[in-house]
Amino acid sequence: MAELTLLEAVNKALAYEMAADQDVILLGEDIGVNGGVFRATDGLQDRFGEDRVVDTPLAESLIAGMTIGLAAQGLKPVAEIQFMGFIYPTIDQILNHAARLRTRTRGRISCPMVLRAPFGGGIHAPEHHSESTEAMFAHIPGLRVVIPSSPARAYGLLLAAIRDPDPVIFLEPKRVYRMLKQDIDDSGEALPLDVCFTVRQGTDITLVSWGAMIHETLQAADQLEAEGIDCEVIDVATIKPLDVETILESVQRTGRCVIIHEAARTAGFGAEIAANLAEFGLMNLFAPVGRVTGFDTVMPLHLLEKFYMPSTENICATVRQTMEYS
């Protein structure tokens, strides 16, 4: 057991899988000598060599294309994109090739690759360094989209993503990189993909979130408990494919739901969850589904960032409004 940050947990998971499987290789901008922009791959090139931890040119479309080609030939590449704001040049390769390879070849070729990227705001970075466009990737058939919320989740879910035979977009909430530490047993035990995690039991209302916003959601649940509101909190973790059943079962017990994410409101992934609740859980709802989200604008710079990011106070206010609905 060791107390690790989320960043250290990512490093441990990569090291474990590289030691266990010679087919796992890493590639990305500055991930070798420098250990990555956030140092997620620090020390791995020294340990595993330049042939398995590869520094690439500053060309995201090239990184994606190389990763797909390596995966198609039986390797298990894990590519890093420095920030989610730089991920958009990869979409051509990801949408047209990685996500379609299994279907295009009628199952003869799969694409066991992972594309890692830090995402989200909260560190006072410029606009291209604060993106939360996970819903864009969730809309692409053939992809898994995984978002850890804690060191333990990052370790177990990254192991599972590397071992998965199909492409995984693995988005790491950079605000949580060094926020907290958790005891992690570096045993190589993966967590299941495609399932939500219930991180707090409750009876009055279901709060659904993922990534960094889980922490504000849990803080809000603590505050609301003092007011007599018992919140259940669900960490979605894998937003594609979505574990609808866990959310529906929770709402069946509580009768109310608020969804929290920092991405822009319009067509954010919270809308997909709300649509599923309307389609399959409407008769269990005592109130309309609430959403606490970012705004339909580019993340503002520095001083205004805190006004863009959903806060504990925003969550509490929406929960109270949902509880008072009649």
Q: Where are the domains of the chain?
A: 2-184, 197-324
DSSP strands (E only) in the chain: 2-4, 24-28, 53-55, 76-80, 114-119, 144-146, 168-173, 182-184, 197-200, 205-209, 231-235, 238-240, 257-264, 290-294
User: What pLDDT digit, counting tens, does each position of 129-178 carry?
Assistant: 899 999 999 999 999 999 999 999 999 999 999 999 999 999 999 999 99
pLDDT value for 85: 94
CA–CA distance, 156 with 190 (Å, rounded to integer): 4
* Superfamily of domain 2-184 in the CATH hierarchy: Thiamin diphosphate (ThDP)-binding fold, Pyr/PP domains (3.40.50.970)
pLDDT at 99: 97
> Can you read off the two tokens belonging to residue 180?
């907290």
Backbone angles phi, psi at 19, to 5 degrees: -70, -35
DSSP state of 189: P
- Residues 289 and 322: their CA atoms lie apart, in Å, by 8
Q: Which tens digits make up the pLDDT trace of 214-262?
A: 999 999 999 999 999 999 999 999 999 999 999 999 999 999 999 999 9
The answer to whether the Cα torsion of 284, 286, 291, 292 is positive or negative is negative
Q: What is the DSSP string of 48-75?
A: H-TTTEEE--S-HHHHHHHHHHHHHTT-
User: Tokens 């090291």 — which residue?
Assistant: 15
Confidence band, pLDDT 50/70/90 cuts, at residue 301 = confident
Calpha distance 46→35 (Å, rounded): 10
Q: Single out the catalytic residue among 97, 124, 128, 129.
A: 129
Query: pLDDT for 112-131, tens place per residue?
Result: 999 999 999 999 887 788 99
Helix, strand, coil shares, percent, the chain, to 5: 40, 20, 40
The residue among 305 and 114 whose pLDDT is bigger is 114
- Average pLDDT over the chain reads 97
Share of the chain above pLDDT 90, in %: 94
User: One fold for both 2-184 and 197-324?
Assistant: yes
Res. 281: pLDDT tops 90: yes
- In this predicted structure, what is the pLDDT of residue 300? 84
59 pLDDT band (50/70/90 cuts)? Answer: very high
Which positions ≥6 away from 5 have C-beta within 8 Å?
A: 151, 177, 178, 179, 180, 181
Chain Cα centroid distance, residue 248: 21
Given a contact cutoff of 8 angstroms between Cβ atoms, the answer to whether 28 and 90 are in contact is no
What topology does CATH give the domain 197-324? Rossmann fold (3.40.50)
- What DSSP assignment string belongs to 135-152? HHHHTSTT-EEE---SHH
129 catalytic residue (yes or no):
yes
Distance, in Å, from the CA atom of 42 to the CA atom of 93, rounded to the nearest integer, reads: 27
